[in-house]
Structure 1
């Protein structure tokens, strides 16, 4: 554990800084916009509907 902690400090990356850099509301809006435009991965339901 101690080695991982020092490695993260050396890289200048911590989980706290990554979490605080993400705006959850903005991410949700981007996802909704992509869904509305038809972008994104196909769901299993959509794939199942395409089967013969």
Structure 2
């Protein structure tokens, strides 16, 4: 598991394809901690950006 720099603001993750489960990736720990370790995430596709929000 990679160690992220303490002040890192950008993260590159790999996306893996699994025949049974479909596409999956690991969310970096600093991102999950920033979002207060949510159980669910929502991806919202905009015109120029994808927004990620925690789902309550």
TM range (shorter): under 0.3
Scaled by the length of structure 2, the TM-score of the pair is 0.22
Larger relative contact order (Cα-Cα within 8 Å, sequence gap ≥ 6): 2
User: Is the helix fraction higher in 1 or 2?
Assistant: 1
* Structure showing greater Rg: 1
